[in-house]
Structure 1
Amino acid sequence: MYDVSTRKRSLALLAHGRSLNSVSRETGISRAAIRSWQDRLEPLPRIAAPAPGPPADDRAYAYLLGLYLGDGCLSPHSRGGYHLRIACADAWPGLIQQCREAITKVRPDVGVYTLQKQGCAMVTSYWRHWPRLFPQHGPGKKHERRIVLEPWQQEIVDAHPWEFIRGLIHSDGCRITNWTTRLVKGERKRYEYPRYFFTNLSGDIIRLFTDALDRVHVQWKANGRNVSVARKVSVALMDAHVGPKH
């Protein structure tokens, strides 16, 4: 791209009777370029690359956002883009597959591959604009900085709260079976009951999780960075919409 002053100097040489060949040799500018300036002096405006659009699938994005907030990160690449990485334990092959499918649904035009690490698989995808879809990206650990959803993200989470909850549980949560004992007609018997747990060091992410639970009428209790769902009706709701990892 040549500036206007360079174009004017080249055309001034032509105006003094110089040939295209001689002006081209002196300036190092091609004859075609100099000839085109005789018709148009001002450079054509640059056409900006179109900004990436919203997620292709909002439901899949709500799930992927939950996975990202729990066990995901963005890593800059030397080419200028970013790798989205979601850590998935080897013990849950179904989770690995669901993560891959979610990324593909959110951005059908990007590739997804799995990088094996000790005890886990890093589901990875390269794209120049991942920070646009995950603006929570930033330096340092998530729990050391503020995590707030953008308005457009909140709209998606509000529309698909169960997918968001499922992503968070599949990343930093679990379904377990607790037990206790009770006296029944004078005899102590063992009693088992299921419970969901979610643990995260970020108070902001805990709040996003509990806000989503409130939205779907799931009762919960918090103890520091741990959130549990143990009421029978609420566990039944979680089983219907989330279920254990597999």
Structure 2
Amino acid sequence: MRRVMPLPRTGRRHRNGCVEVKSYTKHWTCVFPQHGPGKKHERPIVLASWQQEIVDAHPWDFVRGLIHSDGCRNMNWTTRMVGGVRKRYEYPRYWFTNVSDDIRQLYTDTLDKLGIEWKHCTRAGKHYNISVARRASVALMDAHVGPKY
């Protein structure tokens, strides 16, 4: 951050599971054009070519960041009739929820490149949720995403 924006001062603080890095300036929008006025779902969110190169080189870091900011891992459940008896089944699932079509597209494009199976889940007529529930895909996510702090 100091190389890109030497002024103003940057700050670092060790937190549980991460290092928090801060720098306050109005000029960050010059480096990160996705940031700007208004709601993110009402403006285009497109990665600059240099940003896409980083995502392509480190896709798991990108997915981890998206899950840790706008997603979660939880235990889902369903019931089925087996031999006339209703049984409850539980299974892990990753959820990602974002109102921005562009951000959801960046997420699902990256999942596709990683071979992760996903589905749109419409809730109350809104298609903001992306679900990863297939056993093999959840295992890959577990191996690379890690716990959310």
Q: TM-score range by the shorter chain?
A: 0.7 to 0.9
1:98 paired with 2:1, answer: no
- 1:177 touches 1:195 (CA, 8 Å); kept in 2? yes
- The answer for the alignment partner of 1:195 in structure 2 is 93
- 1:175 touches 1:243 (CA, 8 Å); kept in 2? no
- 2:73 touches 2:95 (CA, 8 Å); kept in 1? yes
- The answer for the alignment partner of 1:131 in structure 2 is 29
Taking a change above 3 Å as real, the CA distance of residues 127 and 138 of structure 1, as seen in their structure-2 partners, is closer
In structure 2, distance between residues paired with 1:165 and 1:238? 9
Q: Which has a greater percent of strand?
A: 2
* Equivalent of residue 137 in structure 2, options 234, 238, 241: 234
In structure 2, distance between residues paired with 1:99 and 1:210? 27
1:148 paired with 2:46, answer: yes
Q: What's the TM-score once normalised by structure 2's chain length?
A: 0.80
Larger radius of gyration: 1
* Equivalent of residue 216 in structure 1, options 101, 108, 114: 114
What's the C-alpha RMSD, in Å, of the aligned pairs?
A: 2.5
Residue segments in structure 2 that go unaligned for 5+ positions in a row: none
In structure 1, distance between residues paired with 2:89 and 2:27? 51
Identity %: 64
Provide the aligned length of Structure 1 versus Structure 2.
Answer: 137
In structure 2, distance between residues paired with 1:141 and 1:127? 20
* Structure 1 residue 141: Cα displacement: 1.2
- 1:174 touches 1:197 (CA, 8 Å); kept in 2? yes
Residue segments in structure 1 that go unaligned for 5+ positions in a row: 1-51, 55-79, 84-92, 104-111, 113-124
1:243 paired with 2:146, answer: yes
